Amino acid sequence: MTAPGPENPGGFNGVLGFNGVLGSTPLRVVVADDQASVREGLVLLLGGLPGIEVVGAAADGEQALELVAEHKPDAILLDLHMPVLDGIAATRRLTAEHPGVAIVVLTTYVDDTSVLDALRAGARSYLTKDADRTDIARALQAAAGGLTVFDPRVHDTLLAAAMAPPEPCRTAPPDGLTQREVEILALIAGGLTNPEIAGRLYLSNHTVKTHINRIFAKTGSRDRAAAITYARAHHIG
């Protein structure tokens, strides 16, 4: 995270900055992350801070919704990629069912798709997991107060997306493929391996595998060779 200074007192970049101190009334927070070590670490770190009370910890998006309904927290700290119900879907439901709960995403993913999908779903702030506990606490307090906070890497991603030239008009992809799936299928047709695709698109290997499984299902491809044949037949890549 960016170090505090005269021009950046809170160490954040964002739509609105935040440099306040933790209030006297504890901020009630739910933590949601599928990795037990990360989840338990966040509970310990945040629970040890003045002004923060962790009221629940969830291992997936469905559990997060249940805990929010039960405890009615002020904010939730939410990972994006979780089983049962992922962070994006959970964010949509939280926004619809619990609009008063501020959603702060804490994840390793800073690609433009992840960031924009989370914000469109209703997340108020977006941090990466290299944020320290003070930064996270400030972001939670800011989000609960109606402010939007991004860390510098996310801010740069949004800026790059905003400055990118508009994509040319195109026909809808075949067989219900999404634009991201078409992009990955084109890279498969170009001979790239999963790790190479992950590096090119700034995605995790797990996310790439998930996309490829969906591509195979939608295109009826049994393997990579069949997917390449499909791509060539549909002029993809």
Q: What is the pLDDT of residues 17-53, one digit of tens each?
A: 333 344 468 999 999 999 999 999 999 999 999 899 9
Question: Helices marked H in the chain — which ranges?
Answer: 36-47, 61-71, 87-97, 112-121, 133-144, 152-163, 179-189, 194-201, 205-219, 224-233
**205 lies in some domain:** yes
Longest dimension (CA), the chain: 64
**20 lies in some domain:** no
142 and 180 in a single domain? The answer is no
Share of the chain above pLDDT 90, in %: 62
Q: Tell me, what CATH number does 113's domain have?
A: 3.40.50.2300
Over residues 97-101, the mean pLDDT reads 96
Ordered DSSP codes for 22-79: --SSPEEEEEE-S-HHHHHHHHHHHHTSTTEEEEEEESSHHHHHHHHHHH--SEEEE-
Give pLDDT, residue 111. Answer: 82
Give pLDDT, residue 24. Answer: 66
Give pLDDT, residue 214. Answer: 93
d(CA 208, CA 206): 5
Residue 170 exposed, middle or buried by CB count within 10 Å (0-12, 13-18, 19+): exposed
Domain span at residue 130?
Answer: 27-161
Look up residue 169 and give its amino acid.
C
Q: What is the pLDDT of residues 126-178, one digit of tens each?
A: 999 988 888 999 999 999 999 988 887 787 777 676 666 655 545 788 999 99
pTM: 0.61
Of 120, 139, 161, which residue sits at a domain end?
Answer: 161
Give pLDDT, residue 161. Answer: 65
d(CA 184, CA 171): 17
Domain count, the chain: 2
**185 lies in some domain:** yes
DSSP state at residue 9: T
Instruction: Pull the structure tokens for residue 137.
Output: 């606490």
Q: Residue 50 in contact with residue 22, Cβ under 8 Å?
A: yes
Tell whether the model's pLDDT for residue 225 goes beyond 70: yes
222 and 138 in a single domain? The answer is no
Sheet with 52-58, side-by-side order of all strands: 52-58, 27-32, 75-78, 102-107, 125-128
**3 lies in some domain:** no
d(CA 65, CA 56): 11
Query: Which residues, other chains included, contact 44 with Cβ-Cβ below 8 Å and sequence gap of 6+?
Result: none
Helix, strand or coil for residue 4? coil
Look at the block and give the residue holding tokens 């949509």: 92
Look at the block and give the residue holding tokens 């690609």: 111
- Can you give the length of the chain in residues? 237
182 and 144 in a single domain? The answer is no
Of 161, 185, 216, which residue sits at a domain end?
Answer: 161
12 vs 161, more confident:
161
